[in-house]
Structure 1
Amino acid sequence: MQALVSKITALKRRIQYLESIPGISFISAATVIGETLGFESITSAKQLTSFAGYDVVLRESGSFKGKTKIIKKGNSHIRAVLYMPSMTCVRCNPTLKQFYQRLKPHKAKPIVALIAVQRKLLILMYTLWKNEVNYDPEYEIKKQQEPKALAAQDSIMV
């Protein structure tokens, strides 16, 4: 796979964007790109999560309230290849580690929180691929520190 990817410089460069995420290996990145055909027909993150089978379905009917589960009707290869990287990301990626630690106590089983990390990791891979940027571990911190203009303040200054 590496020999094939190294022949195409644009593909090699874009896979390196995905490998910049701590916990994502070449095999994981190449498999996700291969299964989605380079996100060619994917137009949104919601469509991607549905394609991979990470979208949540509610089991309700009338007064019956069932459990929410992922649908699992999507691409099982993507879900399988993201399992181990999500476990690594929970240990070494500060953003996803914090996300996992926040979800874990509220879920019945830790695997549910790990699946949420897999979904978030897939969306992160999609975003880096589309924007052609490397992973920035301080992105969330920078985003929170940005000054926010309030709509009420803008209308008073006019």
Structure 2
Amino acid sequence: MQELISENEELKRKIDFLTNIPGISFKSAATVVGETLGFESIVNTKQLASYAGYDIILRESGNFKGKTRISKRGNSHIRAALHMPSMTCVRCNPTLKQFYNRLKPNKAKPLVALIAVQRKLLILMYTLWKNEEVYDAKFETKKQQKHEALAARDNKLIAQFVS
């Protein structure tokens, strides 16, 4: 894999965007890119999640309320390639660790929260690949601070109109 990727400069550069994510190895990134053909025919994140089998299936009929689960109808190689990296990300990636810890108490099994991390990781990889950006660990905190600043500004405007 390394030999093939090192021959193509653009592919090598884009794989580097993915390997900058804490917990993602070269092998995992190359497998995901290979299985999706470089995200060539993927239009949006919903389509990608469905292609990988991470879309949610709800089983209910009439009064019967079944359990929700992932469909697993998609590419099993992508899910297998993201299993171990998701476990690593939960330990060393602060953003995904916080996401996992928020979901874990609400789920019956910790594996359900881990699968949500896998889906989020796949979408993150897709976004970095398409936008050709390097992973920013502080992106979520910057985004949250921006929303808080906008909310504070809106509260000031509302206070001015009220008084």
Shorter-chain TM range is: over 0.9
What does residue 15 of structure 2 align with?
Answer: 15
Matched, 1:63 2:66: no
- Report the aligned-residue RMSD: 1.6
Kindly report which structure 2 residues correspond to 1:144-155, keeping only aligned pairs within 5 A, or say none: 144-146=144-146, 147-148=149-150, 150=154, 153=157
Q: How many residues are aligned here?
A: 155
Q: Secondary structure at the match of 1:130?
A: helix
Deviation at 1:119, TM superposition (A): 0.2
What does residue 47 of structure 1 align with?
Answer: 47
What does residue 141 of structure 1 align with?
Answer: 141
Deviation at 1:55, TM superposition (A): 0.5
Supply the AA of the counterpart residue of 2:94: P
Supply the AA of the counterpart residue of 2:144: Q
Deviation at 1:69, TM superposition (A): 0.4
For residues 62 and 117 of structure 2, the distance between their equivalents in structure 1, rounded to whole angstroms, comes to: 32
For residues 80 and 58 of structure 1, the distance between their equivalents in structure 2, rounded to whole angstroms, comes to: 23
For residues 23 and 60 of structure 1, the distance between their equivalents in structure 2, rounded to whole angstroms, comes to: 37
Kindly report which structure 2 residues correspond to 1:1-158, keeping only aligned pairs within 5 A, or say none: 1-146=1-146, 147-148=149-150, 150=154, 153=157
For residues 107 and 73 of structure 1, the distance between their equivalents in structure 2, rounded to whole angstroms, comes to: 22
For residues 77 and 44 of structure 1, the distance between their equivalents in structure 2, rounded to whole angstroms, comes to: 20
Supply the AA of the counterpart residue of 1:28: S
Deviation at 1:71, TM superposition (A): 0.2
Deviation at 1:99, TM superposition (A): 0.4
Consecutive unaligned residues in structure 1, runs of 5 or more:
none
For residues 65 and 71 of structure 2, the distance between their equivalents in structure 1, rounded to whole angstroms, comes to: 17
When you count helix as a share of all residues, which structure comes out higher? 2
Extract structure 1 runs of 4+ deviating beyond 6 A: none
Deviation at 1:47, TM superposition (A): 0.3
1:106-153: per-residue Cα shift (whole Å, max 9, x none)? Answer: 101000000000000000000000000111000000011113264xx5
For residues 103 and 141 of structure 1, the distance between their equivalents in structure 2, rounded to whole angstroms, comes to: 18
Deviation at 1:16, TM superposition (A): 0.2
For residues 52 and 135 of structure 1, the distance between their equivalents in structure 2, rounded to whole angstroms, comes to: 22
TM-score (norm 1): 0.94
Supply the AA of the counterpart residue of 1:96: L
TM-score (norm 2): 0.91
For residues 3 and 57 of structure 2, the distance between their equivalents in structure 1, rounded to whole angstroms, comes to: 40
Consecutive unaligned residues in structure 2, runs of 5 or more:
none
For residues 102 and 85 of structure 1, the distance between their equivalents in structure 2, rounded to whole angstroms, comes to: 19
Deviation at 1:38, TM superposition (A): 0.3
